[in-house]
Amino acid sequence: MSIFFRALVEELVMLEEGVIFKINDDNDTSVFTRIFLIGACCDKPAQALLQHLPEPTAAFDCGRCEVQDFMVRTEHDDNVRSFAMILNAIEETDLRSNTRYDNLLNLKLLHEQMRESFSGGKKKSLIEQQKEAEKGILGPCILRELSFFYVGRGFMADTLHNVYMDAFKRLIPLWFDSDYRFEDWSIKSRLNELQLVFRKLHLPSNTSRLLRCLTLYSKFKANEMRILLLYGYVIFKNILGTKYYNHFLKLVLMMHFIRKSTN
């Protein structure tokens, strides 16, 4: 990834040093301007490559903090990785920052030097032991060369993958899946009714994609989930229990606020 982005970073460094821009006006004005990159918005796989962190869903894959994962056994005898945290763990978990990143990268380089004198099983054992201390750092982040880019908070949250295709897509099955049909929040029995109501909604004229049948919710693409959350939330009123609808409404309002503030 560093090889692919080398030319881009070199241009960004040049912009930081300052460039003369000519303005197309009557005076043919020239302005000396310095430009700094302070944020980047990528999907999860691209962010992992840029930050030089493990791929999404792997240990220490979070680009914002150093949350420790643990494996959970499922009812189907499979193992899944969980990043659930209690309050104390949240307060004790370090956020990713430039200083912390530099320290961990130096630690990783030290570990690599230490392992040079070992081979075989002993070397593999050391790698596993030292991974936890390195907190997922795989190598240098090329954007660290920039003056005001922060390797943690410099990467913006991607709503398409983090909200619509993650949080919301995990929420929908709780309402509609038969596994939860006896829970207070289940509205599986009213799925067809919701589908009919949703078809009567007038969506904004700039809606690029119409939803498929609501019964196919498990196959929805990101834009379909986005439309359902932003404009279809009203169909759940008086269908979901009051506390569940109000909880959902907070997510809807937050996403509308984010969209408005970024337009």
- pLDDT score at 261: 66
Q: What mean pLDDT, rounded, does the chain reach?
A: 88
**Within a 10 A sphere around the Cβ of 63, how many other Cβ atoms?**
21
Instruction: Take residue 222 and report the two structure tokens written for it.
Output: 């990101």
Residues 13 and 128 in one domain: yes
Residue bearing the bigger pLDDT, 62 or 208: 62
Tally of domains within the chain: 2
Give 76-119 pLDDT, tens digit per residue: 788 888 887 777 777 788 899 999 999 999 999 999 888 888 88
Give 124-140 pLDDT, tens digit per residue: 888 888 888 999 999 99
Q: Cite the DSSP H helix spans in the chain.
A: 2-17, 44-51, 87-92, 98-115, 120-134, 159, 168-176, 191-199, 222-231, 242-262
Residues in contact with 33: Cβ distance below 8 Å, sequence separation at least 6, in sequence order: 18, 19, 20, 21
Q: Over 90: is that where the pLDDT of 189 sits? A: yes
Q: What is the pTM of this model?
A: 0.69
Give 162-174 pLDDT, tens digit per residue: 889 889 999 999 9
Among 84-88, 139-143, 205-209, which range has the highest average pLDDT? 139-143
Residues in contact with 79: Cβ distance below 8 Å, sequence separation at least 6, in sequence order: 71, 72, 73
- pLDDT score at 148: 94
Residue ending a domain, among 99, 122, 155, is 155
Residue ending a domain, among 109, 135, 155, is 155
CA dihedral 9, 14, 17, 19 (to 10 degrees): -140
Q: What domain range includes position 164?
A: 159-262
- pLDDT score at 263: 58
Residues 28 and 117 in one domain: yes
Residues 104 and 123 in one domain: yes
